[in-house]
Copies of this chain bind each other. A is one copy, B any other.
Amino acid sequence: MLTPLVRAIAVAAPLPSLGDNTGDLDRLKKVLAPQLGGGMPVVPYQRLSKVAVRFRAAGFAGAAIINDMAGTPVLVDFLSQPPKVLAGMALDLGTTHLEATLLDLSTGAVLARADLENGQIRFGADILTRIHHAAKDEGLAELHAAIIDSVNQLATELAGRAGLAAVSEIRALSVSGNTSMVHFFLKLNPCHLCREPYIPMVNAPDPCLAGELGLAIHPAAVVWLLPSVGSYFGGDLISGVLASGLDQQPETCMLIDVGTNAEVIVGNREWLIACAGAAGPALEGGVARMGMRAGPGAIEHVRIDPTTGEIGYETIGKGKPKGLCGSGLIDLVAELYLTRQIDIRGKFRPQAAGERLIAGSEGYRFVVVEGKDAADGQPVVLGQVDLDALMRSKAAMYAILTTLTNQVGVAFEDLHRIYVAGAFGRHISPRQAIVLGMLPDLPLVVYEPVGNSSLAGAQRVLLERQARERSLALAGKITYIELNVNQEFMLRFSGSRFIPHTDHALFPSVPFFDGE
């Protein structure tokens, strides 16, 4: 039995008469109350007249639309017939990309999927640039308008794909995003997010109506946001905990979510401790010249023949390659290391790389796929600049993992399972990430990819009240360690800026090429 964010409840009220002068809306509420567990629904003023007029026009029978807002049933609309499909949208509100599904709220079936680049990128690829932009006159309004516009595009596409008559037939929206994105989405000043002590304006906003935000879905659609834990630990990770079930495990496990930030949470059903740090956007396809989102044409796996140097690859959708997604990038760099075409600092070794390496004004560029074999005639290349970004990301990732486990007093070997989530995790080969020294050198069975858990969590809260309550409780239960001012993290970060690590004893399974 689903308990979605919005429900259509069929009702047939007794007709008004001289002997029953109950008001139209009071009549509707009265007949609804038993179906809502006895609780009288509330009608917000801006919906009052519409609901009453439609109820009467429908002959006092049809379907009431009830939002579940913070536990309170809110009556927002009335239809003469129960809708064929009551559709809700689950949204992963990413810094770089938005990804969404449209669900049938009575069955939970996925009606459509879509994704889109975040329209805020024109104000800055990274969150910090956008936060600075928000400080300008109209800056926050521009960022808010850009993200609302992107969500509206996505909603329109979903509605079209699912065959809805209009985007306004979408009657609920659940949003899973990082804390900054949620601030932009709600038009809240984000300036304190990046200043010590890094305090959000709100972690757990109450649900609101879509019309209040300027969304194109139904104006009375309930908008429910997954709560954040702190500035650098957003609802997207709460989604990850929901989706992985980390909070219900008897054994200690870990969840790693790498998007623009690296967010890590360790714990079990007794306790949960989290931290986050800027891993850089290298893995999300926003920065590397040939980086791209995991989607058709993205190279997701790379293999370099150690003897011939020949490059084999797989693209998503099996078509010609357009670029590299996060997992392809990790594969490529690991293979470049294993074939000694880059050194332990992540620098190209011209003496080994051969003719695929081209010197240019911005440093070396490595041709992964020649223009003639690529989707749009442009070669797929990896520049030294991209490599440097990846090195910072992987260093940050490992430093975060070691700092957190050290502070908690848990060894990597004690972890029963490591869930790997995010754009990074969808197609990743944990083995190649171990080679790079990004993930700890543990048996591969420990690693379990959980895909886009931010979206998965948004779907859960869209459909289940229990998941909504659990996410709010979770947000209050997680202890958050701030790494931005953590000395140990900075030291560990420096040690991690080599492949696989300055202390190669930490990575016994990875070949170490010394003395170059």
B49, B186, B480: the one contacting A189 at CB < 8 Å is: B49
> Which listed segment binds B: A98-106, A226-234, A345-353, A430-438?
A226-234
> Which listed segment binds B: A17-25, A293-301, A380-388?
A17-25
B208, A45: Cβ atoms under 8 Å? yes
B16, B204, B209: the one contacting A23 at CB < 8 Å is: B204
A203 at the interface (CB under 8 A from B): yes
> Which B residue's beta carbon lies closest to that of A27?
B199
Chain B residues whose CB sits within 8 angstroms of the CB of A48 once the complex forms: 186, 188, 201-202, 205-206
B18, A49: Cβ atoms under 8 Å? no
A21, B204: Cβ atoms under 8 Å? no
Kindly provide the distance from the CB of A57 to the nearest chain B CB, expressed in whole angstroms: 12
A42, B70: Cβ atoms under 8 Å? yes
A249 at the interface (CB under 8 A from B): no
A59 at the interface (CB under 8 A from B): no
A43 at the interface (CB under 8 A from B): yes
Q: How far apart sit A197 and B60, CA to CA, in the bound complex (Å)?
A: 14
Q: How far apart sit A212 and B211, CA to CA, in the bound complex (Å)?
A: 14
Q: How far apart sit A212 and B45, CA to CA, in the bound complex (Å)?
A: 8
With a 10 A CB-CB cut-off, give which of A26, A198, A200, A204 has the most chain B CB atoms. A26
B42, B70, B188, B200: the one contacting A49 at CB < 8 Å is: B188
B53, A189: Cβ atoms under 8 Å? yes
A24, B199: Cβ atoms under 8 Å? yes
Chain B residues whose CB sits within 8 angstroms of the CB of A305 once the complex forms: none
A288 at the interface (CB under 8 A from B): no
Q: How many copies does the complex hold?
A: 2
Q: How far apart sit A48 and B205, CA to CA, in the bound complex (Å)?
A: 8
B21, B23, B26, B201: the one contacting A24 at CB < 8 Å is: B201
- For A, the interface residue count at a CB cutoff of 8 angstroms equals 49
> Which B residue's beta carbon lies closest to that of A55?
B201
B186, A16: Cβ atoms under 8 Å? no
Give per-residue flags for A51-75: 1 if the beta carbon is below 8 A from chain B beta carbons, else 0: 0110010000000000000101000
A44 at the interface (CB under 8 A from B): yes
Chain B residues whose CB sits within 8 angstroms of the CB of A514 once the complex forms: none
B23, B206, B212: the one contacting A203 at CB < 8 Å is: B23
Chain B residues whose CB sits within 8 angstroms of the CB of A196 once the complex forms: 18
B20, B45, B204: the one contacting A26 at CB < 8 Å is: B204
A482 at the interface (CB under 8 A from B): yes
B197, A49: Cβ atoms under 8 Å? no
A46 at the interface (CB under 8 A from B): yes
With a 10 A CB-CB cut-off, give which of A23, A213, A482 has the most chain B CB atoms. A23
A485 at the interface (CB under 8 A from B): yes
Known: A44-B206, A206-B44. A230 touches B197 (CB 8 A): no
Q: B-contacting residues of A (Cβ < 8 Å)? A: 16-18, 20-26, 42-46, 48-49, 52-53, 56, 70, 72, 186-189, 192, 196-206, 208-209, 212-213, 228-231, 480, 482, 485
Q: With contacts A22-B199, A24-B192, A49-B189 known, what are 9 further pairs, Cβ within 8 A?
A: A18-B482, A21-B482, A25-B201, A26-B203, A43-B206, A44-B206, A45-B205, A48-B205, A53-B201
A-B pairs with the 5 shortest C-beta distances? A45-B208, A23-B203, A21-B230, A23-B200, A25-B202
> 17 A-B contacts, Cβ less than 8 Å apart?
A16-B197, A17-B197, A20-B197, A21-B230, A21-B231, A21-B482, A23-B200, A24-B199, A24-B200, A42-B70, A42-B206, A48-B188, A48-B205, A49-B189, A52-B188, A53-B201, A56-B192
